[in-house]
Structure 1
Amino acid sequence: MRSRRYRRTGILHDPEDENPMTGVANLFDIAMVFSVALLVALVMSHNIPELLNPTEDVTIVKNPGEKNMQIIEKKGQDIKVLNRTDEVGGGTGEALGTAYRLSDGRVVYVPENKSETS
């Protein structure tokens, strides 16, 4: 009987084709490939492909000058996020010289000569 049934259905009939989950089995893999492609497209649209390169160092300033400003530094594989605070740096020290900005935008540092000022 079994051989007769096989001959009747032919080679095209496979008992595994009756399982409705066979078509759904690879949906997770497809979703993962889609999410990675979406991530790469997002990085490329923001013109920061340096984030994908592990050898390149990148510094990004988000919301510069505002209260919620952040500085994101990537050095190799390490990523550090610095948030703005209202704390002011301070301490004691000595003046080392004067910096001047020229009309063409360059900055010139002139050190103080201790022997002349004393």
Structure 2
Amino acid sequence: MSRLKLNILEDEDDDPIASTVNIIDVFLVVIAVLLVILMSNPINPFATEEEVIVIKNPGKPNMEMLIKEGTELKHYQSTGEVGEGQGSKAGITYRMEDGSMIYVPE
């Protein structure tokens, strides 16, 4: 009768390698999901030679622009100040009722 109990205990023991294989399967799924996310990113480093422009916080003082031209990546950040720089007013533009624009120089 004691032999019967020992056989039952041996059958119920889990193989430690089986749990390791399950963990490896989970990691493979996580890696596959991360690769899909990377490939769907507009600034994908593995994408072809195309131009992509990403604008963060458009129209706000902390607006940023990322421009990818081929393998080159440029980052522009707004200072938050309006009208910064040198120059003068050159004229006035009016929008007509039909949608056309008229420029009147000063």
Q: TM-score range by the shorter chain?
A: 0.3 to 0.5
